[in-house]
Amino acid sequence: MRLTPETEKRVLFIFFIMIIVLWGYMKFFNHVLWKDEWQAWFVAKDKSIADIFSFLYYEGHPALWYLYLKVFTYIPELTGTAPEYVIMAAHLTLAAVFLYVFLFRMKLEWYLKVMASLSYFMFFEYGVISRGYAMVILFVFLITSEFQKQIPENRKTGLYLFLLCQTEVYGVFMAVTLVVYRLLADGYKIKNPIPKYVLWMIVGSVIFVVSVFPRSADHVASTQPNAPAYFYRFLNSFQGNLTNTFAIGSTPDTGAFGWSGLGLSIGVLVLVALYRLFRKDRTILISGVLYLMIMLLFGTFFFSGGVRQWGMTFVFFISLLSLAEYRSNTDKITKWISIAIFTFALVHNIKAVYFHFTIPFSNAKEAGLFIKESVPEKVPVVGINKFEITPVIGYAGRAFYELPDGVPFTYFRWVDKIYLPAEQELHLFTQFKKVGGIVIISPKRLDQERYPDAQLWKSFEQENYKKENYYLYSLPLK
């Protein structure tokens, strides 16, 4: 499967254009943004830069994605472009750059690059869905490509490490691990001066902790309601980071169904395969073990995560595989193990793309456009459970109201509790707004015994990928 360098470049360039076109088509003509995609946009749009930094510990994500989106939030007002298209264009730009770096600046066999690019994580989870994880991939790949230069530039490496720490907590894990890799690869001795790129990583990690880490233990606890014992959380983390990452689709999603004997067994086989993959290179093996240990400990004691978080392990695996290729520590068995791993991810991606074209990603767009066309601006829309309502706000193009405060909202805070107002409270709000009635939107049907005066107006409950359904109720003045 060897190609001449010129033929390989042509093949990869054509492939690159095809992926960008497919991403663009899926995003702009098919994808419906869900709550996590809209949430970051509203935080960036409705808050000042100073307020964004003070809000980060509610989000659990550092500032870089929000600051990047902040630049784009002025475009809808200046050009009249719908915000959803601006969000997707901003993300597509990042995805195109990380794909370019991967295809043309990192060492790896061309067919493995193609398979990796078409994997579920690289193509769908981080390419179609507009989240800040694309930034993690970009800076990890930039660092990896920098390490593959004959003389890496420490200043550039340091800057990339610093920025990587401002993407996600998983970016911090990767930054730490990549620094360890570089120190081992350079034969660093403790008596030697500390390289400047290490200091950049330390500063980036400190800024991450200061800006993101919860201010109280309650915030951590609220991310893990009814958390199982640490041992079971470790098993979930083990199965998620191995089985649901490297053999995705072979077992049900651990985040939804928990660990199983089959899932753990496959995870052990994956671990053996990864050891065989990198055993010839002690530096890469140590780096891989270190990253996996960090992920397992984080999943056990802090946040178990789900497929999109475990996919970060897949991204780091690609980085290590590229470094192994650069260091000429690959063989035929290595290639076949890589092909097997990428095949699982490729098949799962085909399923995801199929469902993306056959059913909506969310019902938020349909509900939002209905409100935009059918509910006059002077009629308040009250949201029940604003965690789930945010994407509808994006497509409706207007803020909804929350109770008990009775103020407009666009975004939510993860630590907030869901408030269910009494019907009398809704009537009082209607009187306060001096209108003949209000519209209520809820992600679930309202209890008719609790809300006897609320009349179901419209439901949006067709099958959708994210299982985001919505119900509109009218409540007349009483």
The distance between the two most distant Cα atoms of the chain, rounded to a whole number of Å, is: 79
Residue 5: is it exposed, middle or buried by C-beta count within 10 angstroms (0-12/13-18/19+)?
exposed
**Per-10-residue mean pLDDT, the chain, length 478:** 85 96 95 91 92 81 93 93 95 97 95 96 95 96 93 90 95 95 86 87 93 58 55 89 92 85 93 91 93 93 86 95 85 88 95 91 93 93 90 93 89 79 90 90 92 93 89 88
CB 46 within 8 A of CB 411: yes
In degrees and rounded to multiples of 5, residue 88 shows phi and psi of: -70, -35
The burial class, CB within 10 Å (0-12 / 13-18 / 19+), for 373 is exposed
* CA of residue 319 relative to chain centroid, distance: 18
CB 426 within 8 A of CB 441: no
* pLDDT for residue 305: 83
Burial letters 239-251, b for 16+ CB under 10 A, else e: bbbbbbbbbbbbb
- Looking at residue 161, its pLDDT comes to 96
* Distance, C-alpha 354 to centroid of its chain: 20
User: Is residue 244 within 8 Å of 215, Cβ to Cβ?
Assistant: no
* Model confidence pLDDT, tens digit, residues 97-110: 999 999 999 999 99
Question: What is this structure's pTM?
Answer: 0.91
The CA distance from 387 to 34, in Å, is 11
Q: Which residues contact 64 (CB under 8 A, 6 or more apart)?
A: 132, 135, 163, 166, 167
Q: How far apart are CA 120 and CA 337, in angstroms?
A: 17
Q: What is the pLDDT of residue 217?
A: 44
What pLDDT is recorded for position 257? 84
Q: Under 8 Å CB-to-CB from 42, ≥6 apart: which residues?
A: 390, 393, 394, 410, 411
* Beta carbons of 243 and 272 less than 8 angstroms apart: no
pLDDT at residue 415, rounded to an integer: 67
Name beta bridge partners: 476.
Answer: 437
Please give the pLDDT value at position 215.
52
